[in-house]
Homo-oligomer: A and B are copies of this chain.
Amino acid sequence: MSENIVHLVLARVVGAPEGVKGISLFIVPKFMVNADGSLGARNDAHCVSIEHKMGIKASPTAVLQFGDNGGAIGYLVGQENRGLEYMFIMMNAARFGVGVQGIAIAERAYQKAVGYARDRVQSRPVDGSVAGSAAIIHHPDVRRMLMTMRSLTEGCRAMSLVAAAAYDAAHHHPDADTRKQNQAFYEFMVPLVKGYSTEMSLEVTDLGVQVHGGMGFIEETGAAQYYRDAKILTIYEGTTAIQANDLVGRKTLRDGALMPKAVAAQIEATEQLLAQRTSAAAAVMLKRLSAARLAFVESAEFIAGSGKGNPNAAFAGSVPYLMLAGNLVAGWQMARSLMVAEDKLAAGEEAAFMSAKIATARFYAEHILTRAGGLRDAIVEGADSVTALPLEAF
Protein backbone atom coordinates (compact mmCIF):
# COMPACT_ATOMS: atom_id res chain seq x y z
CA MET A 1 0.00 0.00 0.00
CA SER A 2 1.32 3.47 -0.89
CA GLU A 3 1.61 5.97 1.88
CA ASN A 4 -0.01 9.30 1.32
CA ILE A 5 1.92 12.59 1.17
CA VAL A 6 0.33 15.90 2.08
CA HIS A 7 1.56 19.21 0.66
CA LEU A 8 0.94 22.51 2.40
CA VAL A 9 0.45 25.05 -0.39
CA LEU A 10 0.13 28.84 -0.32
CA ALA A 11 -1.81 30.00 -3.37
CA ARG A 12 -4.14 32.65 -4.70
CA VAL A 13 -7.62 31.41 -5.53
CA VAL A 14 -7.99 31.82 -9.28
CA GLY A 15 -11.41 33.13 -10.28
CA ALA A 16 -12.31 33.77 -6.66
CA PRO A 17 -15.02 36.32 -5.80
CA GLU A 18 -14.06 39.93 -4.96
CA GLY A 19 -12.51 40.12 -1.46
CA VAL A 20 -10.86 36.72 -1.76
CA LYS A 21 -7.86 37.83 -3.81
CA GLY A 22 -5.21 37.26 -1.19
CA ILE A 23 -3.06 34.24 -0.51
CA SER A 24 -4.71 31.29 1.22
CA LEU A 25 -3.32 28.10 2.70
CA PHE A 26 -4.32 24.69 1.29
CA ILE A 27 -3.70 21.05 2.04
CA VAL A 28 -3.08 19.18 -1.22
CA PRO A 29 -2.77 15.38 -0.81
CA LYS A 30 -0.94 13.07 -3.20
CA PHE A 31 -3.86 10.63 -3.12
CA MET A 32 -7.47 11.44 -2.41
CA VAL A 33 -8.87 9.63 0.62
CA ASN A 34 -11.94 7.39 0.43
CA ALA A 35 -14.74 7.50 2.97
CA ASP A 36 -13.38 4.34 4.66
CA GLY A 37 -9.95 5.99 5.08
CA SER A 38 -8.25 4.00 2.31
CA LEU A 39 -6.31 5.75 -0.45
CA GLY A 40 -8.32 6.73 -3.50
CA ALA A 41 -7.50 8.33 -6.86
CA ARG A 42 -4.14 9.97 -7.57
CA ASN A 43 -4.38 13.76 -7.18
CA ASP A 44 -2.82 15.96 -9.88
CA ALA A 45 0.15 16.92 -7.65
CA HIS A 46 3.51 15.67 -8.88
CA CYS A 47 7.15 15.92 -7.91
CA VAL A 48 8.93 16.75 -11.18
CA SER A 49 12.48 16.98 -9.86
CA ILE A 50 14.69 16.89 -6.77
CA GLU A 51 17.19 19.75 -6.50
CA HIS A 52 20.93 19.02 -6.26
CA LYS A 53 21.86 20.94 -3.15
CA MET A 54 25.30 21.70 -1.68
CA GLY A 55 24.25 20.33 1.71
CA ILE A 56 21.40 19.08 3.95
CA LYS A 57 20.96 16.26 1.43
CA ALA A 58 18.85 14.20 3.85
CA SER A 59 16.16 16.87 3.45
CA PRO A 60 15.10 16.73 -0.21
CA THR A 61 13.96 19.94 -1.89
CA ALA A 62 11.53 19.23 -4.71
CA VAL A 63 9.99 21.04 -7.65
CA LEU A 64 6.26 20.30 -7.42
CA GLN A 65 3.68 20.69 -10.16
CA PHE A 66 0.01 21.13 -9.30
CA GLY A 67 -2.88 20.82 -11.74
CA ASP A 68 -1.02 20.49 -15.04
CA ASN A 69 -3.03 17.38 -15.92
CA GLY A 70 -6.57 18.53 -15.32
CA GLY A 71 -6.46 20.15 -11.89
CA ALA A 72 -5.34 19.34 -8.36
CA ILE A 73 -7.77 19.21 -5.46
CA GLY A 74 -6.80 21.17 -2.35
CA TYR A 75 -8.56 21.77 0.97
CA LEU A 76 -8.62 25.26 2.45
CA VAL A 77 -6.92 25.55 5.86
CA GLY A 78 -8.56 28.10 8.16
CA GLN A 79 -9.99 31.18 6.48
CA GLU A 80 -9.51 32.57 2.99
CA ASN A 81 -6.83 35.26 2.49
CA ARG A 82 -5.04 34.49 5.76
CA GLY A 83 -2.38 32.19 4.31
CA LEU A 84 0.61 34.49 4.84
CA GLU A 85 -0.46 35.17 8.40
CA TYR A 86 -0.64 31.41 9.10
CA MET A 87 2.70 30.89 7.39
CA PHE A 88 4.31 33.40 9.75
CA ILE A 89 3.25 31.32 12.78
CA MET A 90 5.56 28.65 11.39
CA MET A 91 8.16 31.19 10.25
CA ASN A 92 8.49 32.97 13.60
CA ALA A 93 9.15 29.71 15.41
CA ALA A 94 11.41 28.55 12.59
CA ARG A 95 13.67 31.60 12.79
CA PHE A 96 14.51 30.86 16.40
CA GLY A 97 14.83 27.17 15.52
CA VAL A 98 17.26 27.82 12.65
CA GLY A 99 19.43 29.87 14.99
CA VAL A 100 19.57 26.86 17.29
CA GLN A 101 20.47 24.69 14.28
CA GLY A 102 23.48 26.97 13.81
CA ILE A 103 24.52 26.50 17.43
CA ALA A 104 24.03 22.72 17.19
CA ILE A 105 26.15 22.27 14.05
CA ALA A 106 28.81 24.56 15.51
CA GLU A 107 28.95 22.45 18.67
CA ARG A 108 29.28 19.26 16.61
CA ALA A 109 32.04 20.82 14.47
CA TYR A 110 33.86 21.87 17.65
CA GLN A 111 33.66 18.41 19.20
CA LYS A 112 34.95 16.76 16.04
CA ALA A 113 37.81 19.25 15.70
CA VAL A 114 38.84 18.74 19.34
CA GLY A 115 38.90 14.98 18.78
CA TYR A 116 41.11 15.31 15.71
CA ALA A 117 43.42 17.85 17.35
CA ARG A 118 44.05 15.43 20.24
CA ASP A 119 44.88 12.54 17.87
CA ARG A 120 46.81 14.04 15.00
CA VAL A 121 50.56 14.27 15.68
CA GLN A 122 52.61 16.86 13.77
CA SER A 123 55.70 18.97 14.63
CA ARG A 124 57.22 20.11 17.91
CA PRO A 125 55.36 22.71 20.02
CA VAL A 126 56.96 26.19 19.88
CA ASP A 127 57.27 26.33 23.69
CA GLY A 128 59.26 23.08 23.83
CA SER A 129 56.70 21.54 26.21
CA VAL A 130 56.92 18.25 24.31
CA ALA A 131 60.32 16.93 23.22
CA GLY A 132 59.32 15.45 19.86
CA SER A 133 56.29 15.75 17.60
CA ALA A 134 53.09 16.41 19.52
CA ALA A 135 49.33 16.24 18.99
CA ILE A 136 48.39 19.44 17.16
CA ILE A 137 46.27 20.61 20.11
CA HIS A 138 49.64 21.66 21.59
CA HIS A 139 50.15 24.29 18.84
CA PRO A 140 48.98 27.81 19.73
CA ASP A 141 47.09 28.45 16.48
CA VAL A 142 45.13 25.21 16.82
CA ARG A 143 44.23 26.29 20.36
CA ARG A 144 43.16 29.69 18.98
CA MET A 145 40.90 28.02 16.43
CA LEU A 146 39.36 25.68 19.01
CA MET A 147 38.86 28.52 21.51
CA THR A 148 37.22 30.64 18.80
CA MET A 149 34.85 27.78 17.97
CA ARG A 150 34.16 27.07 21.63
CA SER A 151 33.54 30.64 22.75
CA LEU A 152 31.36 31.57 19.78
CA THR A 153 29.23 28.48 20.28
CA GLU A 154 28.93 28.99 24.03
CA GLY A 155 28.05 32.67 23.64
CA CYS A 156 25.34 31.98 21.08
CA ARG A 157 23.91 29.11 23.08
CA ALA A 158 23.59 31.33 26.15
CA MET A 159 21.98 34.05 24.02
CA SER A 160 19.43 31.62 22.59
CA LEU A 161 18.51 30.30 26.05
CA VAL A 162 18.00 33.82 27.39
CA ALA A 163 15.69 34.47 24.42
CA ALA A 164 13.82 31.22 25.06
CA ALA A 165 13.33 32.14 28.73
CA ALA A 166 11.90 35.52 27.64
CA TYR A 167 9.51 33.71 25.31
CA ASP A 168 8.28 31.55 28.18
CA ALA A 169 7.82 34.58 30.42
CA ALA A 170 6.04 36.44 27.61
CA HIS A 171 3.46 33.66 27.45
CA HIS A 172 3.19 32.39 31.00
CA HIS A 173 4.22 35.09 33.48
CA PRO A 174 1.27 36.05 35.76
CA ASP A 175 1.96 39.80 35.41
CA ALA A 176 0.73 41.45 32.19
CA ASP A 177 3.44 44.15 32.12
CA THR A 178 6.16 41.55 32.58
CA ARG A 179 4.64 39.50 29.75
CA LYS A 180 4.70 42.55 27.50
CA GLN A 181 8.31 43.47 28.32
CA ASN A 182 9.45 39.93 27.74
CA GLN A 183 7.61 39.77 24.42
CA ALA A 184 9.38 42.95 23.24
CA PHE A 185 12.75 41.61 24.40
CA TYR A 186 12.13 38.27 22.70
CA GLU A 187 11.22 39.96 19.42
CA PHE A 188 14.44 41.99 19.59
CA MET A 189 16.40 38.80 20.21
CA VAL A 190 14.98 36.67 17.36
CA PRO A 191 16.98 38.30 14.52
CA LEU A 192 20.13 38.05 16.66
CA VAL A 193 19.58 34.37 17.47
CA LYS A 194 18.80 33.62 13.82
CA GLY A 195 21.25 35.96 12.09
CA TYR A 196 24.26 35.98 14.39
CA SER A 197 24.20 32.30 15.40
CA THR A 198 23.99 31.13 11.78
CA GLU A 199 26.72 33.47 10.51
CA MET A 200 28.75 32.30 13.49
CA SER A 201 28.18 28.68 12.40
CA LEU A 202 29.85 29.44 9.05
CA GLU A 203 32.97 30.69 10.84
CA VAL A 204 32.99 27.73 13.22
CA THR A 205 32.47 25.03 10.56
CA ASP A 206 35.15 26.68 8.41
CA LEU A 207 37.57 26.49 11.35
CA GLY A 208 36.44 22.90 11.87
CA VAL A 209 37.64 21.98 8.38
CA GLN A 210 40.81 24.03 8.88
CA VAL A 211 41.78 22.19 12.09
CA HIS A 212 41.61 18.94 10.09
CA GLY A 213 43.94 20.30 7.38
CA GLY A 214 43.84 18.27 4.15
CA MET A 215 41.76 15.56 5.84
CA GLY A 216 39.03 18.13 6.38
CA PHE A 217 38.57 18.45 2.63
CA ILE A 218 37.90 14.70 2.30
CA GLU A 219 34.18 13.97 2.69
CA GLU A 220 34.67 10.75 4.68
CA THR A 221 36.15 12.78 7.56
CA GLY A 222 32.81 14.53 8.09
CA ALA A 223 34.04 18.08 8.81
CA ALA A 224 33.31 19.17 5.22
CA GLN A 225 29.66 18.20 5.57
CA TYR A 226 29.16 20.64 8.45
CA TYR A 227 30.69 23.36 6.27
CA ARG A 228 28.34 22.53 3.37
CA ASP A 229 25.27 22.03 5.55
CA ALA A 230 25.74 25.21 7.60
CA LYS A 231 25.58 27.46 4.54
CA ILE A 232 21.80 26.98 4.18
CA LEU A 233 21.27 28.40 7.68
CA THR A 234 22.12 31.99 6.71
CA ILE A 235 19.65 31.69 3.83
CA TYR A 236 16.48 29.81 4.70
CA GLU A 237 13.63 31.19 6.85
CA GLY A 238 14.89 34.67 5.91
CA THR A 239 18.49 35.46 4.91
CA THR A 240 20.80 37.33 7.25
CA ALA A 241 19.90 40.53 5.37
CA ILE A 242 16.19 39.90 6.01
CA GLN A 243 16.90 39.43 9.73
CA ALA A 244 18.95 42.64 9.66
CA ASN A 245 16.12 44.50 7.90
CA ASP A 246 13.82 43.36 10.70
CA LEU A 247 16.31 44.52 13.35
CA VAL A 248 16.76 47.91 11.68
CA GLY A 249 13.21 48.52 10.47
CA ARG A 250 10.89 47.14 13.14
CA LYS A 251 13.23 47.01 16.12
CA THR A 252 15.33 50.16 15.80
CA LEU A 253 13.79 52.72 13.44
CA ARG A 254 10.16 52.27 14.47
CA ASP A 255 10.59 53.61 18.01
CA GLY A 256 13.82 55.61 17.80
CA ALA A 257 16.11 52.80 19.03
CA LEU A 258 14.11 52.47 22.28
CA MET A 259 14.59 48.71 22.55
CA PRO A 260 18.32 48.71 21.60
CA LYS A 261 18.87 51.37 24.28
CA ALA A 262 16.91 49.40 26.86
CA VAL A 263 19.08 46.36 26.17
CA ALA A 264 22.21 48.54 26.37
CA ALA A 265 21.04 49.80 29.77
CA GLN A 266 20.73 46.21 30.99
CA ILE A 267 24.26 45.51 29.74
CA GLU A 268 25.50 48.60 31.57
CA ALA A 269 24.02 47.21 34.77
CA THR A 270 26.04 44.03 34.20
CA GLU A 271 29.14 46.19 33.72
CA GLN A 272 28.52 47.76 37.13
CA LEU A 273 28.53 44.30 38.68
CA LEU A 274 31.78 43.46 36.88
CA ALA A 275 33.33 46.69 38.17
CA GLN A 276 32.81 45.51 41.76
CA ARG A 277 35.08 42.49 41.16
CA THR A 278 38.84 42.28 41.55
CA SER A 279 39.73 39.44 39.18
CA ALA A 280 41.75 40.04 35.99
CA ALA A 281 39.10 38.21 33.96
CA ALA A 282 36.34 40.54 35.23
CA ALA A 283 38.49 43.60 34.47
CA VAL A 284 39.17 42.42 30.90
CA MET A 285 35.50 41.59 30.34
CA LEU A 286 34.42 44.99 31.72
CA LYS A 287 36.77 46.82 29.36
CA ARG A 288 35.67 44.92 26.23
CA LEU A 289 31.96 44.70 27.07
CA SER A 290 31.80 48.40 27.79
CA ALA A 291 33.57 49.29 24.52
CA ALA A 292 31.29 46.99 22.53
CA ARG A 293 28.19 48.41 24.21
CA LEU A 294 29.21 51.97 23.35
CA ALA A 295 29.93 50.89 19.75
CA PHE A 296 26.44 49.36 19.60
CA VAL A 297 24.69 52.41 21.05
CA GLU A 298 26.49 54.76 18.63
CA SER A 299 25.48 52.48 15.76
CA ALA A 300 21.84 52.29 16.89
CA GLU A 301 21.72 56.09 17.24
CA PHE A 302 23.26 56.56 13.81
CA ILE A 303 20.69 54.23 12.26
CA ALA A 304 17.78 55.81 14.14
CA GLY A 305 19.05 59.26 13.11
CA SER A 306 19.43 58.35 9.43
CA GLY A 307 16.04 56.66 9.34
CA LYS A 308 13.61 58.66 7.23
CA GLY A 309 16.03 61.19 5.79
CA ASN A 310 18.58 58.72 4.43
CA PRO A 311 17.21 55.16 4.45
CA ASN A 312 20.10 53.92 2.31
CA ALA A 313 22.53 54.96 5.05
CA ALA A 314 20.42 53.30 7.76
CA PHE A 315 20.19 50.02 5.84
CA ALA A 316 23.75 50.08 4.42
CA GLY A 317 25.01 48.95 7.82
CA SER A 318 22.13 46.61 8.61
CA VAL A 319 24.08 43.34 8.58
CA PRO A 320 27.16 44.79 10.36
CA TYR A 321 24.67 46.20 12.93
CA LEU A 322 23.11 42.76 13.38
CA MET A 323 26.57 41.21 13.75
CA LEU A 324 27.55 43.87 16.29
CA ALA A 325 24.33 43.38 18.28
CA GLY A 326 24.72 39.59 18.28
CA ASN A 327 28.40 39.84 19.20
CA LEU A 328 27.52 42.15 22.11
CA VAL A 329 24.47 40.29 23.44
CA ALA A 330 26.28 36.93 23.33
CA GLY A 331 29.26 38.63 25.04
CA TRP A 332 26.92 40.00 27.69
CA GLN A 333 25.81 36.44 28.49
CA MET A 334 29.46 35.39 28.67
CA ALA A 335 29.99 38.18 31.23
CA ARG A 336 27.06 36.97 33.32
CA SER A 337 28.36 33.41 33.03
CA LEU A 338 31.82 34.56 34.12
CA MET A 339 30.45 36.12 37.33
CA VAL A 340 28.39 33.05 38.25
CA ALA A 341 31.41 30.83 37.59
CA GLU A 342 33.69 33.01 39.74
CA ASP A 343 31.22 32.84 42.63
CA LYS A 344 30.80 29.08 42.38
CA LEU A 345 34.55 28.59 42.07
CA ALA A 346 35.04 30.67 45.24
CA ALA A 347 32.41 28.48 46.93
CA GLY A 348 34.40 25.37 45.94
CA GLU A 349 31.92 24.05 43.37
CA GLU A 350 33.20 22.08 40.34
CA ALA A 351 36.53 23.87 39.99
CA ALA A 352 37.50 22.49 36.55
CA PHE A 353 34.12 23.31 34.99
CA MET A 354 33.99 26.81 36.49
CA SER A 355 37.59 27.59 35.50
CA ALA A 356 36.81 26.54 31.92
CA LYS A 357 33.78 28.87 31.90
CA ILE A 358 35.96 31.77 33.04
CA ALA A 359 38.72 31.03 30.49
CA THR A 360 36.18 30.77 27.66
CA ALA A 361 34.45 34.01 28.65
CA ARG A 362 37.79 35.81 28.79
CA PHE A 363 38.71 34.52 25.34
CA TYR A 364 35.37 35.78 24.01
CA ALA A 365 36.09 39.20 25.51
CA GLU A 366 39.58 39.45 24.04
CA HIS A 367 39.06 37.84 20.63
CA ILE A 368 35.38 38.24 19.74
CA LEU A 369 34.08 41.37 21.51
CA THR A 370 37.13 43.21 20.10
CA ARG A 371 35.50 43.00 16.65
CA ALA A 372 32.87 45.54 17.77
CA GLY A 373 34.87 48.69 17.08
CA GLY A 374 35.50 47.88 13.43
CA LEU A 375 31.81 47.12 12.89
CA ARG A 376 30.86 50.44 14.49
CA ASP A 377 33.27 52.31 12.20
CA ALA A 378 31.83 50.63 9.10
CA ILE A 379 28.22 51.38 10.16
CA VAL A 380 28.63 54.95 11.43
CA GLU A 381 31.39 56.26 9.16
CA GLY A 382 31.16 54.00 6.13
CA ALA A 383 27.50 54.16 5.10
CA ASP A 384 27.94 56.34 2.01
CA SER A 385 30.59 54.21 0.34
CA VAL A 386 28.19 51.25 0.30
CA THR A 387 26.01 52.81 -2.39
CA ALA A 388 28.55 55.19 -3.97
CA LEU A 389 29.47 53.02 -6.94
CA PRO A 390 26.97 53.57 -9.79
CA LEU A 391 25.02 50.46 -10.81
CA GLU A 392 26.60 50.36 -14.27
CA ALA A 393 30.12 50.35 -12.78
CA PHE A 394 29.78 46.92 -11.14
Contacts and interface: CB of A to CB of B under 8 A. Distances in A.
Interface of A: 51-55, 114, 117-118, 126-128, 137-144, 146-147, 150, 202, 206, 209-210, 213-214, 216-220, 224, 227-228, 231-232, 234-236, 239-241, 244-245, 284, 311-312, 314-320, 352, 355-356, 359-360, 362-363, 365-367, 370-374, 377-378, 381-382, 385-394
Nearest to A241: B141
Contacts of A54: 209, 217-219, 224, 227-228
Contact of A315 (B141, B213, B316, B377): B141
A53 B319 contact: no
Contacts of A393: 352, 355-356, 359
B210 A386 contact: no
Given A127-B312, A394-B150, A389 B356 contact: yes
A209 B227 contact: no
Chain A interface main SS type: helix
Given A127-B312, A217-B55, A393-B356, A319 B141 contact: yes
25 contacts: A52-B219, A53-B218, A54-B224, A54-B228, A114-B394, A126-B311, A127-B312, A141-B315, A142-B241, A143-B389, A144-B316, A144-B386, A147-B385, A147-B386, A147-B389, A209-B231, A210-B234, A217-B232, A228-B228, A352-B390, A352-B393, A359-B388, A359-B389, A363-B389, A371-B371
A367 B389 contact: no
A320 B217 CA distance: 23
Given A206-B202, A228-B54, A373-B373, A386 B363 contact: yes
A373 B378 CA distance: 12
Contacts of A385: 147, 359, 362-363, 365-367
Contacts of A316: 140-141, 143-144
A15 B255 CA distance: 81
A234 B203 CA distance: 14
A162 to B, nearest CB: 23
B139 A241 contact: yes
B52 A220 contact: yes
A214 B236 contact: yes
A318 B140 contact: yes
A140 B356 CA distance: 41
Nearest to A54: B224
A394 B146 contact: yes
A138 to B, nearest CB: 8
Contacts of A236: 214
A235 B217 contact: yes
Contact of A53 (B55, B217, B235): B217
A351 to B, nearest CB: 11
A235 B220 contact: no
Nearest to A129: B312
Contacts of A127: 311-312
Contact of A231 (B143, B217, B387): B217
The 5 closest A-B pairs by CB, nearest first: A366-B382, A54-B224, A370-B377, A141-B241, A126-B311
A102 to B, nearest CB: 14
A284 B235 CA distance: 34
Nearest to A55: B217
Given A235-B210, A386-B147, A394-B137, A381 B366 contact: yes
Given A140-B386, A141-B241, A146-B394, 11 more contacts: A54-B224, A55-B217, A126-B312, A144-B319, A210-B241, A213-B235, A359-B393, A363-B388, A370-B377, A370-B382, A372-B374
A239 to B, nearest CB: 6
A356 B244 CA distance: 27
